[in-house]
Amino acid sequence: MLVRAAGSRGSTELRLDCVTPEGRPIYAHLWGKHENETEKQVSSGRHKRYCKICSHEKREEIEQGFISWKSPIVIAEDYGLADRMNVYRHATALGLFEKRRRNIRTALERIIERAHGIGSVNSLT
């Protein structure tokens, strides 16, 4: 369902299933695209000039951490980046979200390992 909202920059259409209870948009790239959404084009030249990750000496480690479902907040802290948005912008520009989604097995393995750890702790008490 689409809702038209008027703002200082004109009107915008939002999907009701794509907003938080407070009315803020939830960005589709975090979980996947709706069938009618198109990929936002990113200028690779501009991205490479301004991206802190592209020029980072540990770029490959940063990208592998993201693909392996490491938290973007933790990645930013570990590698001295300003914030998680640097990681998200880089991932969007290079198409890392799709690689990350294909690597869902890594995230599921971590969840299962933690669940087993919690179960064994509970059985000790």
Tens of pLDDT along 65-103?
999 999 999 999 999 999 999 999 999 999 999 999 998
Residues in the chain: 125
- pLDDT over 60 (residue 112): yes
Eight-state DSSP code of residue 23: S
Instruction: Round to whole Å and give the CA distance between 47 and 77.
Output: 21
Q: How far is CA 2 from CA 12, 14, 32, 50, in A?
A: 10, 5, 18, 35
- pLDDT over 80 (residue 14): no
Instruction: Copy the structure tokens of residue 81.
Output: 């980046």
Instruction: Copy the structure tokens of residue 50.
Output: 């301004």
Instruction: Round to whole Å and give the CA distance between 36 and 58.
Output: 36
Closest CA to 81 of 94, 63, 67: 63
**Phi then psi for 37, rounded to 5 degrees?**
-95, 150
Q: Give the residue-averaged pLDDT of 18-39.
A: 50
For residue 38, the model assigns a pLDDT of 42
